[in-house]
Structure 1
Amino acid sequence: MDFYFPGHGKSGDLPPRKGFAEKWHQPILELLPDIQLTILIGQYAQKYYLHQKGSVKLTDTVRNYEHYLPDFFPLVHPSPRNQIWMAKNPWFTEQVIPDLQERVQKILKK
């Protein structure tokens, strides 16, 4: 959502700067006319691009990733802090990651 890491907070990473995505994403995306898949990494990207309101759980969004295809593929942030999440959600590495790999391979072969 931002172009730099905002730093660490007490319970995780600090949020991206407010207004940055609104100001910069659309002009940049207009320069990339052949985007075939947008990978939404983490809660901030998912809430912004999927227009999620309120307390939508990241786990539910990622588990239901197929609802957002073919344009968006929501993922959990690949952080050491998420190792517990991955251990509690084995379906992620068993189903979601292989599907993502297959989709990316198909796009790259075009």
Structure 2
Amino acid sequence: MHPIDRLRAEVAAHESNAWASGLGWEPLFVASPEARVLIISQAPGRLAQESGIPWNDPSGVLLRSWMGVTPEEFYDPANVAIVPMDFYFPGKGTSGDLPPRRDFAPRWHPRVLEQLTEVRLTILIGAYAQRAYLGPRAGRTLTENVRAAETHLPLFPIVHPSPLARGWRSKNPWFQEETVPLLAAQVRAALTT
């Protein structure tokens, strides 16, 4: 059994995830030692969790367009690893999904990420991933982080492609005009060099 498959089984069997296993859910992450682009985001959405396919929703369609990749490229584990801050849908909150569990990523990410030896670009989607991975380099706000994306390479912070972030995107047109083309270029370079 591959170390990532053993780790997936360990996550599923952990007592803190018994509630998800009881619902018939598997831990939703994609990891392959060959992956060259890593996506760290909040947590799977309901549709993704139910289908077992990460980013299997309108947010995923928009994310792939920002990255400049086809669905085939995106879902090829030799290209893209997907390691959210929690591997299970956390439930619905008053405005959007609930946040990922705070203790989840510190427990499991180091063990997954040590398997990803070929990653050249890490896309940090949303505030949870940015706080965890930018550390002292992080700005005070998500907007500051995303505005300075190029200065964080090989980490690349972006806003979540959720419909809930439409307002942010309309207030920050520079994201679509400047950041998205830069992201697509960085993804293409990571996949082809």
Name the CA distance, whole Å, in 2 between partners of 1:21 and 1:64.
24
Name the CA distance, whole Å, in 1 between partners of 2:127 and 2:145.
9
Name the CA distance, whole Å, in 1 between partners of 2:91 and 2:174.
30
Name the CA distance, whole Å, in 1 between partners of 2:95 and 2:136.
22
Structure 1 runs not aligned, ≥5 long: none
In the alignment, does 2:173 pair up with 1:104? no
Q: Which runs of 4+ in 1 moved over 6 A?
A: none
Number of equivalenced pairs: 109
Name the CA distance, whole Å, in 2 between partners of 1:61 and 1:8.
26
Name the CA distance, whole Å, in 2 between partners of 1:23 and 1:50.
18
Equivalent of 1:79 in 153, 162, 169: 162
Question: TM-score with structure 1 length normalisation?
Answer: 0.91
Identity of aligned residues (%): 53
Report Cα offsets for 1:54-78 as digits up to 9, x if no partner.
x821111101112211x20001011
SS of residue paired to 1:10: coil
In the alignment, does 2:152 pair up with 1:51? no
Q: Which has the higher contact order (CA 8 A, sep 6+)?
A: 2
Shift of residue 52, structure 1, vs aligned partner: 5.0
Aligned pairs for 1:52-71 within 5 A: 56-69=140-153, 71=154
Contact 1:40 1:72 in 2 (8 A): yes
Flag the structure with larger Rg. 2
Distance 1:44 1:52, change over 3 A: farther
AA paired with 1:51? Answer: G
Q: Give the structure 1 partner of residue 41 of structure 2.
A: none
AA paired with 2:140? Answer: V
Question: TM-score with structure 2 length normalisation?
Answer: 0.53
AA paired with 1:20? Answer: F
Name the CA distance, whole Å, in 1 between partners of 2:136 and 2:169.
23
